[in-house]
Every structure is written in structure tokens, then in C-alpha cells.
């Protein structure tokens, strides 16, 4: 079974969801298929600004993230430079797909930003170094990264997500069932185990009536 993973590296919840999903996918022999989802564009599309949220909510969000990190024993820090522009990272991930190294690349980028606090992952020199460390020709990677086709792929994947009802990152899609956020792993595991989403009968009846 395939799990489509709509992601953006500027999302803290993407970092947690990525690491929590991998062992579940391995257990049920599911394939994780990353999909670029440029949150900068999505926020503009929905006329949403993170900074507009109440300050109390923002303070609690940081505290909650530290609880998640402790509970799941994941190294985590809030980078000094946040947010970052992610279009180059998303382009780079698409490039690495050609070498079947996209998931390895995502691992490296998320860890480097959210564990080490290295905001240079948004810049071409660091992305090129990461690709080289994964065994990819730096020249070939650089050429693909700046190509028109690469940029269009990110645009197309982001728009395809919006068209199917994806509204944030991380979002996981299994057979057109949309799961949003890092705290849906129990539902995802049940879907993979039973081969279908778990929905209350009342919810199904309401959907039929409407």
C-alpha cells in the first residue's frame, strides 16, 4: 500500500511525522511516496499568516513540541532562523528522486534543520554537499536543481495537493483518505492493518445524506 507524504521542511510537524511514520510503514510494508507541498505558496493561497495566531498559542506550541521530542526520544531544537524559504529544498528533493535517494535526502535535510538547527539547508551550496555525500554527482545535481522542469515539478505537486484537498503539511494520503498532522499515526496504522479507513457508522450515514 502507498502512503503519499505531502511535506515541507519548514514544518515542525513534518519532522515528527516523518520519523514516526517510517517504522509504521516498514511494519506494514507500505511505500512512502514524498510529495512536495510548498507551504509558502499554500499560505498565500489561503491568505494565512502564521504570525497572526495568538501569542499564547505560539508559546504553547513550542512547549508542546518539546514534549513530543521527549516522548518520542527525538533530537529536536527550534532553529534560530525560522521560518526559512523551502523552495530550493523541495526542488532538491525532486532531483534526488531520479537517483532513488529522495527519502535519504529528506532524512538528512530534516535532521540537519530540526536537530542541528542548520538553516543553511535552504541554500544551494549545502544542498549540493548533501547530494554529494549521498553519492550523487554534484555537477549533475546542480544542473538539475536549476532546471525549469525541476521548478515546475514542485509547482505541479503543490497544486495537485491543493486540488485533492490537501491544506497543510504534513499530510498523509492513503487511497484518497487524507490524514493531516503528526498525531494521526494511530489512524494510519489501523488503515494499513485493516486495508481501509476506520470511520464511525454515523459519519458514513451523514456523508450519504449530504
Three-class DSSP category at 182: coil
pLDDT value of position 83:
87
Calculate mean pLDDT across residues 171-194: 96
Q: Whole-prediction pTM value?
A: 0.90
pLDDT value of position 122:
97
Three-class DSSP category at 28: coil
Map out the domains of the chain as residue ranges: 2-209
pLDDT value of position 46:
72
pLDDT in tens, 2-25: 999 999 999 999 999 999 999 999
Could you say which DSSP state residue 117 is in?
A: -
Could you say which DSSP state residue 5 is in?
A: E
Write the secondary structure of 73-114 as one string of H (helix), E (strand) and C (coil).
CCCCCCCCCCCCCCHHHHHHHHHHHCCCCHHHHHHHHHHHHH
pLDDT in tens, 106-155: 999 999 999 999 999 999 999 999 999 999 999 999 999 999 999 999 99
Backbone phi and psi for residue 111, each to the nearest 5 degrees, phi listed first = -65, -40
Q: DSSP states of 30-52 as a string?
A: PEEEEEE--HHHHHHHTT--GGG
The average confidence (pLDDT) of the chain is 92
First to last CA, the chain: 30
Calculate mean pLDDT across residues 16-40: 97
More confident residue, 202 or 100: 100
pLDDT in tens, 156-171: 999 999 999 999 999 9
Round to whole Å and give the CA distance between 102 and 7: 12
Backbone phi and psi for residue 22, each to the nearest 5 degrees, phi listed first = -55, -50
pLDDT value of position 49:
66
pLDDT in tens, 61-88: 889 999 999 999 999 998 999 889 999 9
Round to whole Å and give the CA distance between 145 and 88: 8
2-209: CATH architecture? 3-Layer(aba) Sandwich (3.40)
Q: Facing residues of 154 across strands? A: none
Q: Is residue 209 over pLDDT 60?
A: no
Amino acid at each position: 500500500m502507498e502512503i503519499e507524504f505531502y511535506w515541507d521542511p519548514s514544518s515542525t510537524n513534518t519532522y515528527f511525522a516523518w520519523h514516526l511514520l517510517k517504522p509504521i510503514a516498514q511494519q506494514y510494508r507500505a511505500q512512502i511516496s514524498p510529495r512536495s507541498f510548498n507551504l509558502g505558496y499554500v499560505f498565500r493561497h489561503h491568505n494565512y499568516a502564521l504570525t497572526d495566531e495568538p501569542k499564547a498559542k505560539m508559546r504553547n506550541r513550542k512547549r508542546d513540541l518539546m514534549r513530543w521530542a521527549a516522548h518520542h526520544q527525538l533530537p529536536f531544537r527550534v532553529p534560530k532562523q525560522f521560518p526559512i524559504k523551502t523552495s530550493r529544498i523541495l526542488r532538491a528533493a525532486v532531483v534526488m528522486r531520479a537517483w532513488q535517494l529522495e527519502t535519504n535526502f529528506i532524512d538528512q535535510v530534516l535532521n540537519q534543520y530540526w536537530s542541528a538547527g542548520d538553516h543553511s539547508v535552504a541554500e544551494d551550496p549545502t544542498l549540493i554537499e548533501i547530494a554529494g555525500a549521498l553519492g550523487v554527482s554534484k555537477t549533475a545535481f546542480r544542473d538539475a536543481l536549476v532546471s525549469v522542469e525541476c521548478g515546475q515539478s514542485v509547482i505541479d505537486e503543490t497544486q495537485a495537493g491543493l486540488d485533492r484537498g490537501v491544506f497543510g503539511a504534513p499530510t498523509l494520503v492513503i487511497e484518497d483518505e487524507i490524514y493531516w498532522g503528526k498525531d494521526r499515526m494511530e489512524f494510519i496504522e489501523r488503515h494499513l492493518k485493516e486495508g481501509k479507513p476506520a470511520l464511525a457508522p454515523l459519519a458514513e450515514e451523514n456523508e450519504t445524506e449530504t
